[in-house]
Amino acid sequence: MTLQAIPGLSYFGPDPWKGFGAGAMQAMGGAGFANHFIGRLITSDGGSHTIDTTGQSALGFFTFSTTLANAASSFSFGIAAVDTTTGRPGRGVSSSGTVTFDVKTVVTGGSGILATNGFNNITPTSGSKTIANGDLVAVCAQLTAKGGSDTVVLSVGTSTVQFQRPINTYYNGTNFFAGSANIIPGFFFTFSDGAFGWLEMSDVVSSYATRAFNSGSSPAKEYGQLYVPPFAGKVMGIYAYAAWGNDCTLSLYSDPLGTPVQQKSSLIGANAVTSTAQGWVMDMFASPYSFTAGQPLGAVFTPGAVSISAGYKTLADAKHRIVDNAGTSGYGISRASGAFANANSSLDHYLIGLIISAYDDGVGGGTRFSAAFVG
């Protein structure tokens, strides 16, 4: 094994370009109104899988300020092929504006199935679609019939940058329009065999928040994120999202769930940042820390006697951890003293990650994780 330094640095953890706030697609408040989200679908094991009306198949999505109470209303959500000839803007295959779903679930108004605000995980009612890892698909939602004042709004994530793909397209019953370029998908699919799928660049999150704490806080005075990289390498620093109104040490712990040892640290001085507002800090250690493949590491906020407010997100289901860059092995941790423990049954994920300066160049198998950004 040789650890090869890389030009520049790479980031293992939360994506700094994500906005870490809830967004929404255009409201579907009229008959035929629809939203299309086009992107590459990632499967949890890199294989090909089928989603249909059998087995564990489910279509997962978040709704926001939604009312589907009238029996005359009908809402469809599912996956379609991408229309590669009609756009721009890009869209799923449709006929006179009506989406041609390959697999879908249909929810009738007044059934009580659709959440007003929250995560929906619904078995498809018709169709079948086999999807290989990386296939281009259109995830579509359509209010096919409207009764009374019913309106459906899908909740998604936000981004600080604009995307050409994945993209959102809105249909108002007559015409297609480009949706917001600053939202990112938040859908989660379960295939019939139990494998999972999601669109590239997704953030499958129930809510975003900040937590204020200090060295005297209870029940915990340190919060952070567990990482178990499936490769050997060197950590050169930590990047984190918080409101930096007071001094805070960014700590790297080995064996965080057993006998934690603070291997590296860096003090973020409140007088050496732009303001007390929330934002990213990227900071370096005096020297790197070498780690082995599969070694648990903790990237942790260690504040002083005065509180800082650390950013975190809460997942609707622990299964959604697989969408994050660190995969299922990463989750939020906290402690008052001694060993760290998972935060909120592994549903809270803190916005703090590892800055990697070198990777193992060896050849061999490893544990699958979602992604890491180099470049």
Domains and their CATH numbers in the chain: 3-16+207-369 (2.60.120), 31-199 (no CATH)
Nearest to 44 by CA among 132, 118, 173, 161: 132
- The mean pLDDT value for 150-170 works out to 87
Alpha carbon distance 300, 332 (integer Å): 9
CB atoms within 10 A of CB 301: 28
Q: What is the pLDDT of residue 371?
A: 46
Looking at residues 199-225, what average pLDDT do you find?
A: 94
Question: Under 8 Å CB-to-CB from 96, ≥6 apart: which residues?
Answer: none
Residue 314 pLDDT:
95
Kindly calculate the radius of gyration of the chain based on its CA atoms and give it in whole angstroms. Answer: 22
Task: Supply the pLDDT for residue 362.
Answer: 67
How confident is the model over 86-90, as a mean pLDDT?
Answer: 87
Average pLDDT over residues 232-261: 95
Q: How far apart are CA 331 and CA 167, in angstroms?
A: 28
Over the stretch 327-348, which tens digit does the pLDDT of each residue have?
889 999 999 999 999 999 999 9
Res 68: pLDDT:
97
Q: Pick the residue with more confidence: 239 or 162?
A: 239
The pLDDT confidence band at residue 6, using thresholds 50, 70 and 90, is low
Bridge partners of residue 234, in order along the sequence: 290, 358
Mean pLDDT computed over 162-179: 89
Q: What is the pLDDT of residue 367?
A: 40
Cβ atoms 197, 42 nearer than 8 A? yes
Residues contacting residue 238 through CB under 8 Å, at least 6 positions apart: 250, 251, 252, 266, 283, 299, 352, 353, 354, 355
How far apart, in whole angstroms, are the C-alpha atoms of residue 367 and residue 295?
12
Instruction: Say what the pLDDT of residue 305 is.
Output: 94
Question: Is the predicted pLDDT of residue 349 greater than 90, yes or no?
Answer: yes
Average pLDDT, stretch 250-259? Answer: 98
Percent of the chain whose pLDDT exceeds 70: 95
- Residue range 219-241: mean pLDDT, rounded: 94
Residue in the block written with tokens 């906005």: 19
Which residue in 90, 88, 92, 87 sits closest to 76, CA to CA?
A: 92
Q: Encode pLDDT of 26-68 as tens digits.
A: 999 999 999 999 999 999 999 999 999 999 999 999 999 999 9
- Report d(CA 203, CA 184) in Å as an integer: 7
Is residue 76 within 8 Å of 141, Cβ to Cβ? yes
pLDDT band at 138 (very low <50, low <70, confident <90, very high): very high
Q: Determine the distance from the C-alpha atom of residue 3 to the mean position of all C-alpha atoms in its chain, rounded to a whole number.
A: 30
Q: CB burial class (10 A; 0-12, 13-18, 19+) of residue 305?
A: exposed
* pLDDT at residue 1, as a whole number: 60
In percent, how much of the chain has pLDDT > 90?
A: 75
pLDDT at 4: 76
Q: Are 188 and 320 in contact (CB under 8 A)?
A: yes
